[in-house]
Amino acid sequence: MPSCIICHLQIDESKDSFYECENEHPVHDKCLADWLLHSQNCPLCSDPYSPSVLSKFKGFIEEKEKEKQEALEEELRKEAMKKMEKVTNNIIFLKFIETIESLIEDKNYADAIDLLIESYNETSFDDQNLRVLFILGKANYLRGRYDLAINFLFKLVKLKFDYPDGFLFLGKSYEALGMKDKAEWAYQRIK
């Protein structure tokens, strides 16, 4: 009994469906179908399979290729969606920051801080959240709540050391409380 050159299991010529290359290397029907998705040559001798063998698998290969194409398109669609979501999210965030900045400009610190606290996420450390943390510190400094400003800004620079404006307002807050050494320490960290 011959054995399949792909799976090495025996081929029962009386009931198994199988094919051969021009050099009579036998392969199971199903083993060959999978192989043809990668190559049209016999895995053993590398000779191409005859057109009559290949034509038997034409439908199967086309279907698999279509599936692959569809999966790829789905993947691209998802990626595009994700990008769109990110862009939308950024636009919404920038609008939000604009609103906050104009409240601060109007010295309406209470409303600005309420909105910031609402959007602040204790468990996220992305750039947007760090920005919220910074403005929370800055707004509290501007309304004279230096203790709260220090709280927020200290949290910020602990999460992101490279945040010069964070250290600037941290220094100003310490200075406002008469803590000169700590103010100096913060100012030295502005690059």
Q: In the complex, which residues of this chain contact Zn ion (CB under 5 A)?
A: 4, 6-7, 21, 23, 25, 28, 31, 42, 44-45
Residue 23 or residue 124: which is nearer to Zn ion going by CB?
Answer: 23
List all residues 6 or more positions away from 120 whose beta carbon is below 8 Å from its beta carbon. 129, 132, 133, 136
Beta carbon of residue 130, minimum distance to Zn ion (angstroms, whole number): 58
- Among 65, 84, 88, residue whose Cα is nearest residue 76: 84
Beta carbon of residue 53, minimum distance to Zn ion (angstroms, whole number): 11
Beta carbon of residue 49, minimum distance to Zn ion (angstroms, whole number): 8
- What backbone phi and psi angles, to 5 degrees, belong to 179? -95, 80
Contact call for residues 3 and 9 (beta carbons, < 8 A): yes
Beta carbon of residue 12, minimum distance to Zn ion (angstroms, whole number): 11
Residue 36 or residue 149: which is nearer to Zn ion going by CB?
Answer: 36
Kindly report the number of other CB atoms within 10 A of residue 173's CB atom.
28
Residue 7 or residue 117: which is nearer to Zn ion going by CB?
Answer: 7
- Among 190, 140, 128, residue whose Cα is nearest residue 165: 190
- What CA–CA distance (Å, rounded) separates 18 from 31? 9
Report residue 145 CA to chain centroid gap. Answer: 38
Beta carbon of residue 36, minimum distance to Zn ion (angstroms, whole number): 13
Residue 42 or residue 186: which is nearer to Zn ion going by CB?
Answer: 42
- What CA–CA distance (Å, rounded) separates 156 from 151? 9
Residue 31 or residue 53: which is nearer to Zn ion going by CB?
Answer: 31
